[in-house]
Structure 1
Amino acid sequence: MNERVDVDVWVESKPALRVRARANWLYARAVFHRFRLRFLILLVVLAGGGALFSALSSPEQEVTFFRGLYYTWCLIFFEPPVDFPDNLVLDVMFFVVPLMGLMILVETFLELSIMLRDRRHNEREWSRMIASEMSNHVVLVGCGRLGLRTLGHLLKMRMPVVVIESDEKNAFLAQVRAQRIPVLVGNGRDDRMLADANVAKAKSIICCTNDDLANLEIALDARRLNPGIRVVLRLFDQNLANKIRDGFNIHVAFSTAAMAAPSFAAAATDPSIKTSFMVDGQLVVVSRIQVQAGAELANRSIADLCGGLSMHVVAHHPAGAAESRTFPPPGTILRPKDQLLVQLRFEDLSRLREMNKARGGAPEPASAP
């Protein structure tokens, strides 16, 4: 049974019209580039045949250039439009043009049918063709839980993405393919796989597999293929991440353990904390609170509140309103039972809670999740 991950950053079950239109446009460009030589040969054959029919046919037939084009087109499909001519050059055309047309058209139709089949199934050839037409895109290596969430954020930011995943049985690939995203199944440490993902023209590469050494090797290979590419690396060892960032000039190297530690500690301390992270050695948290009637926060503006505390109001959900408002205006007045999503230093959170206590010392109730 396929496992499905529902995350708050994931996109709609069907790709947006913009995504489908871009995929179709890239596919059309790839098809044209794939068959442009054959199209050119066919055009030369048609034009040359039209010119020869027009120049060498008997005057009584009154063959114009466009009629000659039609005659040549009919010859390609083994349908001679006129009787066998008396001119030697036209006689040769009656044998050569059908053979050339047969070779070009049959091979083109067969290859095009395979490409259309691959497009329906989002298989490797279709994905490789789409990736070959991309530029300034992001290559995401690894489509586990972290990779899927990262992909969701990238799609929210409208970034074109190519996914590389080593496990063809990965349960998350169905979700990715449903978004018309190119998926290449194979070992990301293979240069051919990186070439298929068009790393040479990519803006950045995100290596987030569960193997530190594989992530590092992929990052170095990508840098070799594209010296200007931005590399984001997932590592489990913070010391190794620091050394790699400094020694290999990797733009960003994240230790998942170091990133998760503040969130675990903060969540254990206060259930209202939604997330946390370190900034220059200081713990910054995002917390949700509900304004209490009679508290110091009630009937004050956001600007007044932020002026007294080093904090930012990320979202404001007025009491009774259906939706919250992100980054509300500074002049917004806070009313009792309003909900706030605030970002501040962890040591300032206790002071904010004191300001949110109703006069008389009533404790603040737990905020809604």
Structure 2
Amino acid sequence: MERQILYIIILAISVLVTGTAGYIIIEGWPLLDAFYMTVITLTTVGFGEVHPLSASGKLFTIFLVGSGVFVVTYSISFLVGLLAEGRAGEFLLRRRVRMELREIEGHFIVCGCGVVGSEVVEYFARTRESFVVIERDESKVKEVLKNYPELLFMVGDATREDVLKEAGIDRARGLLALLGSDADNVYTVITARFMNPHLRIVARAIQPESIEILRRAGADYVICPQKIGGLRLAAAALRPQVTSFLDLVLRSEAFDLSIEEVTIPENSPFAGKSLRELNLPGKIGLIVVAVKPVNRPTFEFNPRADTVIGEGDIIIVLGRLQQLAELRKMVTPE
């Protein structure tokens, strides 16, 4: 559709340029007179000739009128087709998406919108994360758009550099490789890592033996739904209440709960203070589940009240989305 519109614009400009140049060459008219004559000829307003025409000029005008009729007829038929098929809204939607993609930054790129990708979209939308979806199957995109009409999306191949570049991979915070085959996911991870070495990449492994391959390709974290699904089934059988609580936290439809990680930036008012001084449960109602100091590979679960928070440390907290948003404001340097 975009190409057809481009063709119409190119045709219209070509006819205008050809008509103007023709009158200049054949009749020797000034540029303004030649352009004016071209416009009134193409629009058939009937104002008459600017100057008397020679025989060659009359033949050229006949050719110009024929060309104008062709361009106008083609343009009208295309516009009528857009309205009849209801595609005008689709064109405006794609244009809006392209404009927003030029400005977006600090976002996630979700590659693939199948069963797993749709769940990721639902979670990101609920937690108000900024993200872009890339999916080669347009029907899957339309299905997701029914529930999330403001979704930023691209219909394309996520393994291609030009598609990832248009999705703003150089400005992105992370990428999720959730395509339908391990081979495509490996290629996407390699391409994404090459284009943005600092990107956080999470990949899905369809086959368990692909986990290590995806890690070597550059994925920071690899998940195999088959393994995770088996563990969740066993946990649901052995510890049903724990599993129900984790489902509540991860999905948070009922109580708007979420468990999040927050990194303490440089010059943050949190730096150098203990958990007792910060008093997050008392001030905003958040529960501090764990702390990961920047200079240690492991987490400190259920940290003590005298645990001091430093720059670059990561705190894992449990709370409502509004409380989490308040925490992010509090850690930001003034």
**Residues 55 and 165 from structure 1, CA distance in 2 versus in 1: closer, same or farther, beyond 3 angstroms?**
closer
Is 1:198 the counterpart of 2:163 in the alignment?
yes
2-side partners of 1:133 and 1:37: how far apart?
Answer: 25
**Residues 196 and 242 from structure 1, CA distance in 2 versus in 1: closer, same or farther, beyond 3 angstroms?**
closer
Partner SS, residue 175 of structure 1: coil
| Native 8 Å contact 2:20 2:35 kept in 1 | yes
1-side partners of 2:22 and 2:80: how far apart?
Answer: 28
Within the candidate set 102, 113, 117, 1:142 is matched to 113
Aligned to 1:361: none
Identity %: 11
Aligned to 2:146: 174
Within the candidate set 298, 302, 305, 1:349 is matched to 302
Is 1:87 the counterpart of 2:57 in the alignment?
no
Aligned to 2:211: 241
Structure 1 gap ranges (5+): 1-26, 57-63, 277-284, 288-301, 319-323, 325-338, 353-366
* Amino acid aligned to 1:111: F
2-side partners of 1:118 and 1:243: how far apart?
Answer: 42
Is 1:105 the counterpart of 2:105 in the alignment?
no
Tell me how far 1:41 sits from its aligned partner: 0.7
1-side partners of 2:303 and 2:100: how far apart?
Answer: 53
Aligned to 2:267: none
**Residues 368 and 170 from structure 1, CA distance in 2 versus in 1: closer, same or farther, beyond 3 angstroms?**
closer
**Residues 104 and 223 from structure 1, CA distance in 2 versus in 1: closer, same or farther, beyond 3 angstroms?**
farther
* Amino acid aligned to 1:44: V
**Residues 102 and 251 from structure 1, CA distance in 2 versus in 1: closer, same or farther, beyond 3 angstroms?**
farther
Tell me how far 1:223 sits from its aligned partner: 6.3
| Native 8 Å contact 2:206 2:224 kept in 1 | yes
Structure 2 gap ranges (5+): 251-257, 261-271, 292-298, 306-318, 322-334
Within the candidate set 8, 11, 15, 1:42 is matched to 15
TM-score by length of 1: 0.49
User: Which string of whole-angstrom CA distances, capped at 9 and with x for unpartnered residues, describes residues 107-135 of structure 1?
Assistant: 23433555574241x37x97499669957
| Native 8 Å contact 1:131 1:198 kept in 2 | no
| Native 8 Å contact 2:178 2:204 kept in 1 | yes
Q: More helix by proportion, 1 or 2?
A: 2
Residue pairs, 1:1-369, within 5 angstroms: 35-48=8-21, 51=24, 55=28, 65-82=31-48, 85-112=52-79, 114=81, 117-120=86-89, 122=90, 127=94, 138=109, 140-144=111-115, 145-149=118-122, 151-152=124-125, 156-157=129-130, 159-165=131-137, 168=140, 172-176=144-148, 178-179=149-150, 181-182=152-153, 184=155, 198-199=163-164, 201-202=166-167, 203=169, 206-208=176-178, 214-220=180-186, 222=188, 228=195, 232-235=202-205, 240-246=210-216, 248-250=217-219, 252-256=221-225, 268=242, 303-305=273-275, 316=281, 318=283, 324=284, 339-344=285-290, 348-349=301-302
- Structure possessing the higher radius of gyration over alpha carbons: 1
* Amino acid aligned to 1:344: A
Tell me how far 1:35 sits from its aligned partner: 4.8
TM-score by length of 2: 0.53
**Residues 149 and 349 from structure 1, CA distance in 2 versus in 1: closer, same or farther, beyond 3 angstroms?**
same
Tell me how far 1:179 sits from its aligned partner: 0.7
**Residues 245 and 221 from structure 1, CA distance in 2 versus in 1: closer, same or farther, beyond 3 angstroms?**
closer
* Amino acid aligned to 1:340: L
User: Which string of whole-angstrom CA distances, capped at 9 and with x for unpartnered residues, describes residues 289-315 of structure 1?
Assistant: xxxxxxxxxxxxx944358xxxx97x5
Q: How many residues align?
A: 260
| Native 8 Å contact 2:203 2:222 kept in 1 | yes
Partner SS, residue 91 of structure 1: helix
1-side partners of 2:259 and 2:222: how far apart?
Answer: 23
2-side partners of 1:76 and 1:54: how far apart?
Answer: 18
2-side partners of 1:215 and 1:196: how far apart?
Answer: 18
* Amino acid aligned to 1:55: G
2-side partners of 1:350 and 1:270: how far apart?
Answer: 24
